[in-house]
Amino acid sequence: MLKTSLLAFAASWNFFVFANEEITRAEQISYEWLLEMGTKSGYTDHISHFHEIFKTFQVRAFLEFGLGYSTKYFLDSCQKVISVEFVTNGSGPGWIKECLNLYKNHSQWVPIAYFSGYHGDTQWAPYKYVGLDHVYNADAYQCAFHKDYSLINAVYLNELDSFITSLTKCYSIDCAFVDPGIFLRGDLVSLLFLKSL
């Protein structure tokens, strides 16, 4: 177990050293750079797949759960990008704030901070959803115990479903990508499949 944890830490450390040494402006993030990062770290290995999708399918509104350097490629390829970053007690606002600075000049971007179990300042977020602690509790439980929290308390699914329903009423979403830092990815994918995007 310790060996696996150390390998995971080393992989994530390599990504942050590789990324933080080079990127200070959004203009530095090119398709080629993302491909290279995907090869070196695995962090953006999905970009080549989206490149194929975007070659054959025009995406007007793109929804992503979890944002990062790939967001730049989505901004370059889609008419509108809605990015949702979960900000919790366990995962603070540092990353979304960095991305807000990187992509501040992209008018077609809607960056939403989804707050759950976070008790710090939320005024900095241009778009925000302040949920209850249900999503944070579900994430913490599933991360710690590797078990389905919905068997204990499924209220977080109702909250996520309401949030996604609101998004699909505001935006006609053509394509979605689920890659947040929280451990509820399967739940998000299932909820999205229930919507007619």
The residues facing 129 across adjacent strands are 114
Q: Could you tell me if residue 158 is inside a domain?
A: yes
Report the number of distinct structural domains present in the chain.
1
Q: Could you tell me if residue 19 is inside a domain?
A: no
The first and second tokens of residue 197, run together, are: 């995007």
pLDDT in tens, 101-148: 999 999 999 999 999 999 999 999 999 999 999 999 999 999 999 999
DSSP 39-60: HHHSTTTTHHHHHHHHHHS--S
Cβ atoms within 10 Å, residue 146: 8
% of the chain beyond a pLDDT of 70? 88
The CA–CA distances, whole Å, from 113 to 51, 81, 124, 127 equal: 26, 14, 10, 6
**Confidence label for 197 from pLDDT (cuts 50, 70 and 90):** low
pLDDT at 9 over 50: no
Q: Which range of residues forms the domain containing residue 125?
A: 45-193
Q: What is the pTM of this model?
A: 0.87
Q: Could you tell me if residue 10 is inside a domain?
A: no
Q: How many helices (H) and strands (E) does the chain have?
A: 8, 5
Q: Could you tell me if residue 132 is inside a domain?
A: yes
Q: What's the number of CA atoms in the CB half-sphere (13 Å) around residue 54?
A: 19
Q: Could you tell me if residue 112 is inside a domain?
A: yes
In this prediction, residue 194 carries a pLDDT of 85
What's the rounded mean pLDDT across residues 11-18? 44
60-98 burial code (b ≥16 CB/10 A, e <16)? ebbbbbbbbbbbbbbbebbebbbbbbbbbbebebeebee
Q: 174 Cβ partners below 8 Å, 6+ apart?
A: 57, 58, 59, 60, 61, 62, 197
In this prediction, residue 134 carries a pLDDT of 96
Tell me the C-alpha distance between 124 and 86, whole Å. 14
Tell me the C-alpha distance between 100 and 146, whole Å. 32
Q: Could you tell me if residue 33 is inside a domain?
A: no
% of the chain beyond a pLDDT of 90? 84
CATH code at position 117:
3.40.50
**Confidence label for 31 from pLDDT (cuts 50, 70 and 90):** very high
Tell me the C-alpha distance between 42 and 49, whole Å. 13
Tokens 């830092």, residue located: 181
